[in-house]
Structure 1
Amino acid sequence: MKQRGFSRRSFLQLTAGALGASLLAACGSSEASQPTQTGSGGGGAQPTTASGSPAPAVITGVTLRVVGTGVTLLEPIREQAEKDLGIKLEYDVNDGPAAQQKAATQPQSWDLYDQWFNSVKIVWGSGNAAPIDINRIQEWDKISPMPKEGKLTPEAKEGDGDAPYRILYVQPDNTLGSIPTEQISMLPLTFNVDSFGYRSDLVDEEDVDSWAILFNPKYKGKIGLYSDPSTGLMDLALGAQAAGLATFQNIGNMTREEIDTIMEILIEQKRAGQFRAFWNSFDESVNLMASGEVVVESMWSPAVTALQVRDVPVVYASPKEGYRGWYGGMMLNKNASDKVLDACYEYLNWWLNGWAGAVVARQGYYFCIPENVKRHLSQADWDYWYDGKPAAEDLLDPFGSVVAKAGSVRDGGDLVTRVSNIAVWNSVMDEHQYLVTKWNEFLAS
């Protein structure tokens, strides 16, 4: 495969444009064996903690500042990590655009950046991140091939756009690419696939196997969409291509001409009343579907499960064209040094032991080392979330609420089935600034 490199210099303009766009978007918004200790500590056997991670090196008293989103910056994780590592964690929880903006423009405010791979270009381009040395990542070799090579299995689709492996490795010239080195831009941790949800009591089964449903006139005025310009557009582009309205060489990195084409289609469809609402938050997406105001909607997996627990007949689609994938992880601040740097690596390695991955698994997210998660999950949880089997009992989320009822089955099947069919990854396109300008025109039309 041809090497694709991303340099800091080549992303200076992209960084500025994307940050401005992110701010606009924000303002517009109304988830084995015991690990062995390495890194800053001494050698020899180490006692393990309640979560199963090794006792840390001497980093007591260090405060780590982690900026990110509520997807992974969860109180149960913070509390357990502090208990296991003897450090203090300050979680700065934001929405995605705000977290990215802080990472790229306020390097003095964070030590670790916990977000998604589609923001790597922006943060790396800002010059605020340092490479992560995989020699200090104690279970690097156990991380699945998906973020390293692009596929979980040889038969799987790679997907267009910012697949993690394409921007994972720091090259000798400080660009990012897919050729393996001993330095990485972001430590891959959690991932999932997204699609659209639909009301099974109000939508015909024959229409739900394709993204084309977003343009089906049968559901005119009943379509809900995500307002984010990047992911929202990808869902619509998948729909337009499936419906035969447009074609794209790479949905994850459209040209200006392709952006113009899809925007003309979208403005025409919007003016004709095809789309009912654009949601900005998790709660908005849930309420739109629960009320019946929309019957087909771009959604996140936890929103679907939240509705199913309330007995709202919502199904998460498995479109034949493929899902939209995302991968999360952490980046290291270039200013981290001495004990703070050691503590950063201890925290990264603590995450890999699987305890935190089991917490996010109970929200529907997968983890980069599945076998490590398995030892922290009940058999019922593992069977449901990873193996796609019926829930043997009512399953709880990290906060004690029922998230899956006994007998229910996860839409889309098991891990391998779901992540082998990714059409495109969440991405920051080369023409991101232009895209956001056109997207705002579409929203205002």
Structure 2
Amino acid sequence: MKKLSMLILVLMFILAGCNSNEKTLKVFNWGVYIDETLIEEFEEEYGVRVVYDTFDSNESMYTKLMSGETYDVLVPSDYMVQRLIDENLLQTLDKSVVNMANVMPHVMNQSFDPNNQYSAPYFWGNVGIIYDTTQVDEADLTGWEVLLNTKYKGNVYFYDSERDAFMVALKALGYSANSKDDAELQAAFEWLTQLNSTMDPIYVTDDVIDNMIAGNKAMAIVYSGDAAYILDENEDMGYFVPEEGTNIWIDSFVIPANAENPEMANAWIEFMLSEDAQTRNTLEVGYTTVHQSVWEAMIAEDGDYAGNTAYEVRLANSKDEIFMYDEELKVKMADLWLKVKAQ
């Protein structure tokens, strides 16, 4: 019996030693933002264990990083990529591994990372209005001002995000979504205050998806990827992006400066940029791919997203903007947004 016990202990030490040598890749991504079978395939192909965690906002991701948590791959949005670069928290990508030749030119070389030294695009899209065609007169869809049309009082979902809220108001007033002008911000605040007091909007986040599929309100502010899914699920829905302009967002892969496995991180990014992975991810998630040939296949006449106006993100409106990071502006908007909702 003692010999058997000793044998068991020896085996336990051997197994513990094997586990300590196991290669690990830590990925931090948005929730519900991947075809999870790809994680298993990557593990098998590269002989690595993937620790896959999720976050619900750029700010919560940043807070966790500042708490001392380390990851090998992150998927922040444009303005957060800019912040991480400015604070020297990222390392450059290994372009001998990460091949972006098939990435759509529209999402490359943006102002937050001009030469894509630090970031590789993953998904992209815009912000618009999903509306019920059985409830909304399309003649009313002339711009963001439709959100102030009292015909739809009590029948609007408004996304609970200060940056998106001020983008809508600033664009409705003809200003830049990145405006730091106090007078323009005050005008946007008053526009949002009018909406809050006259329209009785319901402030929502991701719960807007199921609610609009069910047709519970006439219209809602949504991200295009969520709109694409809603359009597929409810044929009565339409998607409208005002000509005054909107936010174009790009979520990208980056590698933190303190990543413990940067070699495998670059391999992960290259794997996820492949045609196969991009196809499977866009079909699973519903957000717009960054892979040129996959995008063309998806919107083709026989493609999975043919005719889906939310998936086909517009490419040529000069008034569409990417958010730029500005801590002072962020704090000011957050404070004003709380005041809007408190009235």
User: Which interval holds the TM-score relative to the shorter structure?
Assistant: 0.7 to 0.9
Distance between the aligned counterparts of 2:210 and 2:145, measured in 1? 23
Matched, 1:190 2:123: yes
One-letter amino acid of the structure 1 residue matched with residue 315 of structure 2: V
- 1:291-302 matches, within 5 Å, as 292-302=215-225
Task: Determine the structure 2 residue equivalent to 1:35.
Answer: none
One-letter amino acid of the structure 1 residue matched with residue 24 of structure 2: T
Distance change in 2, residues 1:332/1:224 (3 Å): same
Q: Deviations over 1:91-140 (max 9, x none)?
A: 1111013223223x145431111121121133334443222243442x23
Matched, 1:433 2:331: yes
Of 289, 303, 309 in structure 2, the residue corresponding to residue 367 of structure 1 is 289
CA RMSD of aligned residues (A): 2.7
SS of alignment partner, residue 221 of structure 2: strand
Task: Determine the structure 2 residue equivalent to 1:83.
Answer: 44
* Aligned residues of 2:78 and 2:322 also touching (Cα < 8 A): no
Task: Determine the structure 2 residue equivalent to 1:419.
Answer: 315
Distance between the aligned counterparts of 2:270 and 2:233, measured in 1? 37
Q: Which has the higher contact order (CA 8 A, sep 6+)?
A: 2
* Aligned residues of 2:225 and 2:310 also touching (Cα < 8 A): no
Task: Determine the structure 1 residue equivalent to 2:184.
Answer: 258
Task: Determine the structure 2 residue equivalent to 1:3.
Answer: none
Q: How does the TM-score come out when normalised to structure 1? A: 0.65
Q: Structure 1: which 4+ aligned runs deviate by more than 4 Å?
A: 290-293, 412-415
How far has the Cα of 1:303 moved from its partner?
3.5
- 1:234-313 matches, within 5 Å, as 234-238=167-171, 240-241=172-173, 247-248=174-175, 250-272=176-198, 274-281=199-206, 284-290=207-213, 292-311=215-234, 313=236
SS of alignment partner, residue 75 of structure 2: strand
* Aligned residues of 2:224 and 2:311 also touching (Cα < 8 A): no
How far has the Cα of 1:201 moved from its partner?
0.2
Q: Deviations over 1:323-343 (max 9, x none)?
A: 431111111121235xx2211
* Aligned residues of 1:324 and 1:425 also touching (Cα < 8 A): yes
How far has the Cα of 1:74 moved from its partner?
4.2
Distance between the aligned counterparts of 1:232 and 1:354, measured in 2? 35
* Aligned residues of 1:226 and 1:298 also touching (Cα < 8 A): yes
Q: Which runs of 5+ in 1 are unaligned?
A: 1-59, 150-164, 169-177, 242-246, 375-381, 396-403
Query: Which moves more between the two structures, 255-264 or 290-299?
Result: 290-299
Distance change in 2, residues 1:365/1:83 (3 Å): same
How far has the Cα of 1:62 moved from its partner?
1.6
Distance between the aligned counterparts of 1:80 and 1:229, measured in 2? 39
Task: Determine the structure 1 residue equivalent to 2:11.
Answer: none
* Aligned residues of 1:290 and 1:312 also touching (Cα < 8 A): no
How far has the Cα of 1:306 moved from its partner?
4.2
Q: How does the TM-score come out when normalised to structure 2? A: 0.82
Task: Determine the structure 1 residue equivalent to 2:63.
Answer: 101
Task: Determine the structure 2 residue equivalent to 1:347.
Answer: 268
Q: Deviations over 1:350-406 (max 9, x none)?
A: 1222222112321332333323x37xxxxxxx65x333x366xxx5xxxxxxxx7xx
Task: Determine the structure 1 residue equivalent to 2:259.
Answer: 336
Distance between the aligned counterparts of 2:211 and 2:272, measured in 1? 35
How far has the Cα of 1:226 moved from its partner?
0.6
Task: Determine the structure 1 residue equivalent to 2:106.
Answer: 146
How far has the Cα of 1:437 moved from its partner?
1.0
Q: Deviations over 1:64-83 (max 9, x none)?
A: 11112125344223122222
Distance change in 2, residues 1:289/1:188 (3 Å): closer
SS of alignment partner, residue 154 of structure 2: coil
Task: Determine the structure 2 residue equivalent to 1:386.
Answer: 299
One-letter amino acid of the structure 2 residue matched with residue 102 of structure 1: K
Q: Which runs of 5+ in 2 are unaligned?
A: 1-20
Distance change in 2, residues 1:368/1:438 (3 Å): same
* Aligned residues of 1:143 and 1:369 also touching (Cα < 8 A): yes
Task: Determine the structure 2 residue equivalent to 1:55.
Answer: none
One-letter amino acid of the structure 2 residue matched with residue 350 of structure 1: F
Q: Deviations over 1:23-57 (max 9, x none)?
A: xxxxxxxxxxxxxxxxxxxxxxxxxxxxxxxxxxx
Q: Which has more radius of gyration? A: 2
Distance between the aligned counterparts of 2:89 and 2:210, measured in 1? 38
SS of alignment partner, residue 67 of structure 1: strand
Distance between the aligned counterparts of 1:286 and 1:367, measured in 2? 20
One-letter amino acid of the structure 1 residue matched with residue 119 of structure 2: M
Q: Deviations over 1:217-253 (max 9, x none)?
A: 2222222111011123212332x32xxxxx42x2224
Distance change in 2, residues 1:124/1:312 (3 Å): same
One-letter amino acid of the structure 2 residue matched with residue 184 of structure 1: Q
* Aligned residues of 1:81 and 1:347 also touching (Cα < 8 A): yes
Task: Determine the structure 2 residue equivalent to 1:327.
Answer: 250
How far has the Cα of 1:277 moved from its partner?
0.5
